[in-house]
Amino acid sequence: MESGYLALVLNAHLPFVRQPDYPRFLEERWFFEALSETYLPLLRVFRRLEAEDISFRLTLSLSPTLCAMLGDELLGERYVCFLDGQLALARKEEERVGADPVFGPLARMYAELYRSDREDYLELYERDVLGAFDYYYKKGRIELITSAATHAFLPIYRDNREVVAAQLETALVSHRRAFGKHPAGFWLPHLGWYPGLEELLHSYNIQYCVVGTRGGLLGQPTPLAGSFAPVQCPNGLTAFIRDSAATEAVWSEESGYPTNAVYRDFYRDIGFDLPMDYLGHFVEDGDNRIYTGFKYWAVTGRTDDKRPYDREAAMARVKEDASSFIAGRLAKASSAAVHMSRPPLMVAPYDAELFGHFWFEGAAWLEEVFRQAAKEPRLSLLSLGDYNRMYPENQVSVPEFSSWGDGGFAEVWIDGANDWIYRHAFKAAERMTELAERFPDESGLRERILNQAAREVLLCMSSDWALLMRAGKSASFARKRVEDAITNFNRIYEMLSSNTVGTEWITRLEKRNNLFPEINYRMFRKKH
């Protein structure tokens, strides 16, 4: 019998940053970098494991906005340009430091990374990255789930049932469109949960979600097995509880694996070290340096005096950290098992982009965890759906309102830097419901306009913008995204109220914000 179960859960998500009005756009790099450093390397991990017949199980949430961007033709074209730019810089770097015994191999490592990405993207997957994930989904290696349409932090909208329903419904339609199946699970953005959410999730035939440790433990009644077993809401929805130790082992800034001195440093980048004229288009607007992705230094410690990155040492460390992770989970499982009638479950949810993008060795670490776990009979890796099928009955409890953000509740998303959003977002949602009630049976151009209005309402609710405003990162961009969405919505509302239609403008807007092609504005109708 197993000592314990481990469920690794990754949330792959980026907000909708497509900007067709500009030939190139800085924030689209978030998407290109995540593709290059996380999504494609993750698929290479799956490919190697499958080729070697090594069993692996993973629950992966692909958010609807990310799916929209992964399936977008224009972004696909731009991604190839991005890769060509990276490869051109790689060639320059090979010329610059190729002969250096320390930095030469690192320049070649980046050249190889981008060559592999280009080959996989264009030749192996023929630009269909969603199809690549679907392949492992259909083969039963990974379990794909979805998340809120625009990653809205749902507890904020708890009093507006139409908004939460629209976020769910759009997500489910998007998932079915991409993968042809209804997802069993739902990733709560930032693990944002509130009592009552189970009703909507269940009504859309969602079987499970993951909640934060705080929310789970504060549930009513208190969960008898702590976070080592899920709880079941009275209506049958399973709420898995995040294992805080498994998450801390990776995410702690003080002691998490990525902080190890030998790993590659994320912040030290040639984009900030080399002369601007050398960097060429890696300088924005003539004087803003950006990350190029070429980073030659190790974390070293809390110092600016970094040591050169040693790939071999880092990969050796990956093996040690994977062993340590598994040993830690086994130890925890063994301590918990004596108090339980079934093997304890540890749910380890992370943002996917941590692996490879921020923590350069993260994808390799995941691969090593899968490899070592496959040889460890006392620990079974499974998906959340696997567990749910194995143990359909769980203690009845309703988790408390919570999230995984700072403070554990909604402090990140309701803050002096971003609270202005909600006056407008709620008004737009209220007006959207009013429009859907006034025009329930529209078709043709008017239906298109109403559908675009629904897109704009959903876009203004993206929690990423609030997060960035609070963090002070790209805050003016984030602010503009919200303001644009609300301005677009208000313009449509006024057009429909005065019965005037700007066809040319709406067509341009549809082309710009082209996500969710199957959206149905009627989902904003009153829920009784």
Partner 1 sequence: MKPEKFESLSDEALHALADRMGLSLPPDLDRVFVAEEILDAIEEDSEERGAAGLSAGRMEETKFSCADFLDVDVCLEAAPVLSPSYNETAIKVLVRDPSWAFAFWEIAENEKQALFSVDGAMDLFLRVCETSDDGTPLDKQEFFDIPIAEEDQQWYINLPKPKTRYRIDLCARLDGKIKVLARSKNVAVPRQLLDENWKRLGPGSAELLRLSGLDSLDIEPEEPGNPQRILKSGPSGD
| Interacting positions 86-145 with partner 1 (CB under 8 A) | none
Which CB atom, from 56 or from 401, has the smaller least distance to partner 1?
A: 401
In the numeric block, the tokens 């040591």 are attached to: 307
Tell which residue, 357, 435, 506, 455, has the closest CA to residue 32: 357
Q: Does 427 bind partner 1 (CB under 8 A)?
A: yes
Candidates 140, 180, 221, 392; binder of partner 1 (CB under 8 A) is 221
In the window 288-307, what residues touch partner 1 (CB under 8 A)? 288-291
Q: Does 220 bind partner 1 (CB under 8 A)?
A: yes
In the window 342-401, what residues touch partner 1 (CB under 8 A)? 351, 353-354, 357-358, 400-401
Give the range of 179-187, 217-225, 374-382, 436-444 binding partner 1 by CB under 8 A: 217-225
In the numeric block, the tokens 């691969």 are attached to: 367
Residues 6+ apart with CB under 8 A from 528: none
As a whole number of angstroms, the distance between CA 154 and CA 205 comes to 18
| SS3 at position 25 | coil
Is residue 290 within 8 A of residue 26, CB to CB? The reply is: yes
Candidates 419, 437, 494, 518; binder of partner 1 (CB under 8 A) is 419
In the window 169-208, what residues touch partner 1 (CB under 8 A)? 190-191, 195
Candidates 266, 278, 391, 439; binder of partner 1 (CB under 8 A) is 266
Nearest distance from residue 312's CB to partner 1, in Å?
Answer: 25
In this structure, what is the dihedral angle of CA atoms 24, 26, 30, 36, given to the nearest 10 degrees?
Answer: 50
Give the range of 110-118, 137-145, 220-228, 386-394 binding partner 1 by CB under 8 A: 220-228
In the window 468-507, what residues touch partner 1 (CB under 8 A)? 468, 471-477, 479-480, 483-484, 486-487
In the window 154-173, what residues touch partner 1 (CB under 8 A)? 155-156, 159
Which CB atom, from 391 or from 422, has the smaller least distance to partner 1?
A: 422
Q: Does 212 bind partner 1 (CB under 8 A)?
A: yes
Q: How far apart are the first and last CA of the chain?
A: 48
Give the range of 97-105, 250-258, 273-281, 509-517 binding partner 1 by CB under 8 A: 250-258
Tell which residue, 146, 344, 318, 342, has the closest CA to residue 243: 344
Tell which residue, 11, 19, 119, has the closest CA to residue 63: 11
Q: Does 245 bind partner 1 (CB under 8 A)?
A: yes
In the window 441-470, what residues touch partner 1 (CB under 8 A)? 464, 467-468
Residues 6+ apart with CB under 8 A from 491: 502, 505
Candidates 86, 167, 232, 247; binder of partner 1 (CB under 8 A) is 247
Is residue 8 within 8 A of residue 58, CB to CB? The reply is: yes
Q: Does 403 bind partner 1 (CB under 8 A)?
A: yes
Candidates 3, 147, 402, 462; binder of partner 1 (CB under 8 A) is 402
Which CB atom, from 27 or from 50, has the smaller least distance to partner 1?
A: 27
Nearest distance from residue 311's CB to partner 1, in Å?
Answer: 21
Geometric angle at alpha carbon 268, from 266 and 273, rounded to 5°: 150
Give CA 56 to chain center in angstroms. Answer: 20
Nearest distance from residue 206's CB to partner 1, in Å?
Answer: 21
Instruction: Give the CA radius of gyration of the chain.
Output: 23
Residues 6+ apart with CB under 8 A from 180: 134
Q: Does 405 bind partner 1 (CB under 8 A)?
A: yes
For helices 40-51 and 129-138, give the axis angle rounded to 10 degrees: 40
Q: How many residues bind partner 1 (CB under 8 A)?
A: 96
For residue 381, report the phi and psi dihedrals to the nearest 5 degrees: -85, 135
Give CA 371 to chain center in angstroms. Answer: 24
Nearest distance from residue 165's CB to partner 1, in Å?
Answer: 17
Give the range of 40-48, 97-105, 177-185, 235-243 binding partner 1 by CB under 8 A: 235-243
